[in-house]
Structure 1
Amino acid sequence: MSQVPPPPGNGQSWEDMLRSVLGDGADEVLAEMRARGIDPSTLGGAADPMMMQQALAQVQRLLSEPGTGPVNADVAHDIARQFAVAEGGDPSLTGGQARAVTDALSVAELWLDVVTDLPPAGGGSRAWSRSEWVEATLPAWNALAAPVAASVSDALATVLHDQLPDGVEDGVPLPGMPSGVLAGLGGIDPAQMMRRLGSAVFGMQVGQAAGTLSREVFGATDIGVPLLHDSQTVLLPTNVAAFAEGLDAPLDEVRLFLALRESAHARLFTHVHWLRAHLLGLVEQYAHGITIDLSALESQMQDIDLADPDALRRALSGGVFGLQNTEAQRETLLRLETVLALVEGWVDEVTATAALPHLPHAVPLREMMRRRRAAGGPAEQTFSTLVGLELRPRRSRDAAKLFAIVTREGGPEARDAVWAHPDLLPGTADLDDPSGYLGRRAALAAEHADVDAAIEEILGEE
């Protein structure tokens, strides 16, 4: 196998480095990245020489090792760890920082006990570094991105396989690939190689996204989708302190407010037993429904001579990988956006209720978090890039209003009872008209009761 090229000079980009390693064969990888809305020239700006050398060593290694699925977890892990420590590093946590976090999370649980009947998550509290956050959440990111990665890679491999000239499958490498890069491949199927390259590209993207996000998040629940398999509550002291520096509120207040949000999320995901599976199922359903326009891709490549790498490059850069949203996907997306808004709205309302008696800056902190969510911060951008979902967090303000109305009219018990069953969840019409939700819910509950009674009557007659 060829050696990794020497570190690039100042300003050399990811695209430059991919081309220096893969030659004309980089066009396929770059086309796939651009088709997913990923501009290689903006992947972290100018490439850090050491980071790029390590990343591309991983890409080269893929060409001589068995594939590891739609998203290469090893590449994702290495890239994520590197980005987690970039731009200021990832300082080790002190004992004082860890105690401050666990104390804040403990206090948050006490305050939440007063305002909701949902009990604590019970998984323990932790202070994490950015690297620890990456290690714990990366499996979830890989799983979320896998359906999209598989769709794109399979489309490339299918079309490439159909267009192969005689003899290529017997060991001739793809045209344009430098021989040194492919040394030792033997008779690898070029379609399989495309899957490996696609796996590497998505691994790099997932790794960069998770690593970058680790410098922005406050805990394990910022994105509104459960990223952990257990019920831990987590804060990242380094990020919390950085966020507090630009605010008028003291660090202790900011930490307590964020601890309330983290603990409220954890209670909801733990004790509304169907919610985690429901959310992740909607994400998976949407991602699996993504289709690649194979007819357009085949049309572009129908008369292509694969011995002409420039012709192949032009065919793969024609925008044929556009993701097609079906009507079913649009419906799934709307349901997912609504549930995510409800999660955020419930947490917003419960956190505010718990914080107001204790934190002098509770109101401005609440508004700061609302604006951060409405602006579509790094969490939303990352989710959109990896899964193809455009979320609309503005609906969380409508959801918070709905929960406030329910609380005013029925008390905290009525507010928490909204989560009793997925079929009774508020829909988009309820977010448009929160004041009418309770009446519509009562009618729907009565309808369900009539159906249940009819079923019981039928079963009783049998």
Structure 2
Amino acid sequence: MSDTPFGFSNPDDDPDRRKDEGSGSGGAGGGMPFGFGLPGSGGSDNPFGGQGFDPAQFGQMLSQFGQMLAGMGSAMGSGGGSGPVNYDIATKLARQQIGSVDPVSPRTADAVTDAARLAELWLDAATTLPAGASKVVAWTPVDWLDNTLETWKRLCDPIAEQVNGMMLNGLPEEARAMAGPMLGMFSQMGGVAFGSQLGQALGQLSKEVLTSTDIGLPLGPESTAALLPAAVESFGEGLEQPAQEVLVFLAAREAAHQRLYSHVPWLRQRMLATVEEYARGIRMDMSSIEDLAQGLDPSALTDPSKLEEILKQGAFEPQTTPEQKAALERLETMLALVEGWVETVVADALGERLPGASALTETLRRRRATGGPAEQTFATLVGLELRPRKVREAAALWRRLTTDAGTEARDHVWAHPDLLPDSSDLDNPTAFVDRVIGGGTGAFEDPIAQLQATMEREQAERDRAAEDGSDEDRTGDDSTS
């Protein structure tokens, strides 16, 4: 995808995030979530900034805005515009972008079911976690959209709510008092903008994802393993691997994800809650609104083309907070641990049975490194890039633990979130393995000791994030002095 769908990207504090393996993945650089912001250029009149608040001009702007919003709502056929994101518009635009699709043929559906059944049989010997999918389905892009939309709502709503709230809170007090109930129109306008961009992104993504867990998160219904045969066929073109082997390989990855998310009860909730936690930490320097608003031309609100340009500008930069950095690191590490565990288990299950399994694993890694559609969408949604280096390190840790401690000890690590390795353990897997099987076993099994270690680790992460923020502030002060 050439255009970033939501425009959300955290200001990049980590240089590895850009240079790792020459990756070109990721979202837009430094825009607001969903690319929504006030303009910084235009006419010379300013309704609420600069030389003072002009009630007459602001009232005219609100009137024009209301007329434009009513017209847009009618034109888009928006019947469900309540909430931070207009999902009616998102769904319609996504379906338009998908276009007409042929239903999955019974023969193809049977092939998916057979591949999943074989993969589950082989996985039984590679992990202690039992099968997690009670149903195997073959989805079209429309099926993927319909079955993942509820999870996207949970991911997108906290971000959109936070952005909408910051936009409204940024209005001068006098303007807010005058606007009164008209403020709701700003929220509705934000819902339309967010919905349109989300719809375009999901429409593109639905045609290219391979499984329901392609981005690492459990997007689909619980206990349902899903593959998208059309995308799987496109993925296999030019790989010089038999189509059936490609299908079994991807079915094994999907089945392994389902085992993890089904039998680690806290994992699904923890993943999605961490995204919400990151969204709640979004902050902006609202003093910048006065400067940006000086160029706001109220007449632009009556011109849909100019309005579209305004919405795409993404004028505000989110302010990175220590809480956000800590949440982002936890989410990135957890995703890498999931992907690394899946790689390890699938390699053990298929390694001797599927000669091309290792080559297919490397193909997926390169796909991620060069910024595949799933990686681009997820990066622009939460500002996260699932870097290949992180996944490689996580896979190496799980491999080492499997070799030294066995499959049962490896899978037992998922019994509680406090038992999982953290980002420092990915850099030094030997110490983590020693804690599991060596001298640190007592602390590993003692919940009080484990809680104390977790509190110390989280405090260290906060201190490190705060120190990074102070360094950035000092750098900014030096550059302006």
The interval holding the TM-score normalised by the smaller chain is 0.7 to 0.9
Match of 2:92 in 1: 78
Determine whether 1:402 maps to 2:379: no
One-letter amino acid of the structure 1 residue matched with residue 289 of structure 2: L
Match of 1:239 in 2: 231
Check conservation: 1:62, 1:200, Cα contact below 8 A.
Answer: no
Which of 318, 338, 343 pairs up with 1:343? 338
**1:308-347: CA deviation from partner (whole Å, max 9, x where unpaired):** 759x999999865211110111011111111100000000
Check conservation: 1:338, 1:395, Cα contact below 8 A.
Answer: yes
Which of 271, 278, 286 pairs up with 1:286? 278
Cα 1:252–1:156, aligned 2, differ >3 Å: closer, same or farther?
same
**1:76-126: CA deviation from partner (whole Å, max 9, x where unpaired):** 1111212223xxx52221111000001101111101011111001142111
Match of 1:436 in 2: 431
Match of 1:331 in 2: 326
- What's the CA shift for 1:304? 7.5
Matches within 5 A, 1:374-413: 374-413=369-408
Match of 1:362 in 2: 357
Cα 1:92–1:426, aligned 2, differ >3 Å: closer, same or farther?
same
Match of 1:447 in 2: 443
One-letter amino acid of the structure 2 residue matched with residue 335 of structure 1: R
Matches within 5 A, 1:212-361: 212-301=204-293, 320-361=315-356
One-letter amino acid of the structure 2 residue matched with residue 83 of structure 1: Q
| Cα distance in 1 for residues equivalent to 2:223 and 2:135 | 7
Which of 199, 202, 223 pairs up with 1:207? 199
- What's the CA shift for 1:416? 1.1
| Cα distance in 1 for residues equivalent to 2:129 and 2:393 | 22
TM-score (norm 1): 0.75
| Cα distance in 2 for residues equivalent to 1:79 and 1:64 | 12
| Cα distance in 1 for residues equivalent to 2:186 and 2:113 | 47
2:414 aligned counterpart, secondary structure: coil
Check conservation: 2:138, 2:228, Cα contact below 8 A.
Answer: yes
Cα 1:355–1:296, aligned 2, differ >3 Å: closer, same or farther?
same
Check conservation: 1:75, 1:204, Cα contact below 8 A.
Answer: yes
- What's the CA shift for 1:72? 0.8
| Cα distance in 1 for residues equivalent to 2:121 and 2:434 | 33
| Cα distance in 2 for residues equivalent to 1:203 and 1:412 | 45
User: Percent identity between the aligned chains?
Assistant: 44
Check conservation: 1:272, 1:420, Cα contact below 8 A.
Answer: yes
Match of 1:101 in 2: 112
- Point out which structure has higher relative CO (alpha carbons under 8 A, 6+ apart): 2
1:116 aligned counterpart, secondary structure: coil
Cα 1:305–1:395, aligned 2, differ >3 Å: closer, same or farther?
closer
Match of 1:112 in 2: 123
- What's the CA shift for 1:218? 1.0
Cα 1:34–1:328, aligned 2, differ >3 Å: closer, same or farther?
closer
Determine whether 1:417 maps to 2:412: yes
- Bigger mean CA deviation after superposition, 229-238 or 344-353: 229-238
| Cα distance in 2 for residues equivalent to 1:400 and 1:125 | 26
Match of 1:24 in 2: none
Match of 1:48 in 2: none
Cα 1:58–1:406, aligned 2, differ >3 Å: closer, same or farther?
farther
- What's the CA shift for 1:64? 8.4
Cα 1:274–1:451, aligned 2, differ >3 Å: closer, same or farther?
closer
| Cα distance in 1 for residues equivalent to 2:111 and 2:129 | 24
Match of 2:478 in 1: none
- What's the CA shift for 1:436? 2.7
Check conservation: 1:384, 1:390, Cα contact below 8 A.
Answer: yes
| Cα distance in 2 for residues equivalent to 1:351 and 1:236 | 19
One-letter amino acid of the structure 1 residue matched with residue 86 of structure 2: N
Check conservation: 2:35, 2:311, Cα contact below 8 A.
Answer: no
- What's the CA shift for 1:390? 3.8
TM-score (norm 2): 0.73
Cα 1:413–1:194, aligned 2, differ >3 Å: closer, same or farther?
same
- What's the CA shift for 1:229? 3.5
- What's the CA shift for 1:377? 1.6
- What's the CA shift for 1:415? 1.8
**1:37-75: CA deviation from partner (whole Å, max 9, x where unpaired):** 7499xxxxxxxxxxxxxxx98744579867421111111
Check conservation: 2:112, 2:247, Cα contact below 8 A.
Answer: yes
**1:224-275: CA deviation from partner (whole Å, max 9, x where unpaired):** 1111241101111111111111210010000000000000000000001111
| Cα distance in 1 for residues equivalent to 2:280 and 2:402 | 38
Determine whether 1:155 maps to 2:166: yes
**1:121-150: CA deviation from partner (whole Å, max 9, x where unpaired):** 142111111110110001211221111211
Match of 2:143 in 1: 132
Match of 2:474 in 1: none
One-letter amino acid of the structure 1 residue matched with residue 269 of structure 2: A
Match of 1:143 in 2: 154
Check conservation: 1:217, 1:236, Cα contact below 8 A.
Answer: yes
1:292 aligned counterpart, secondary structure: coil
**Unpaired runs of 5+ in structure 1?**
1-13, 15-32, 41-55, 170-188, 456-462
- Bigger mean CA deviation after superposition, 363-372 or 330-339: 363-372
Determine whether 1:69 maps to 2:83: yes
Q: How many residues align?
A: 385
- What's the CA shift for 1:194? 1.5
- What's the CA shift for 1:168? 5.6
Check conservation: 1:287, 1:388, Cα contact below 8 A.
Answer: no
**1:267-313: CA deviation from partner (whole Å, max 9, x where unpaired):** 00000111111111111100111113222114543x68876759x99
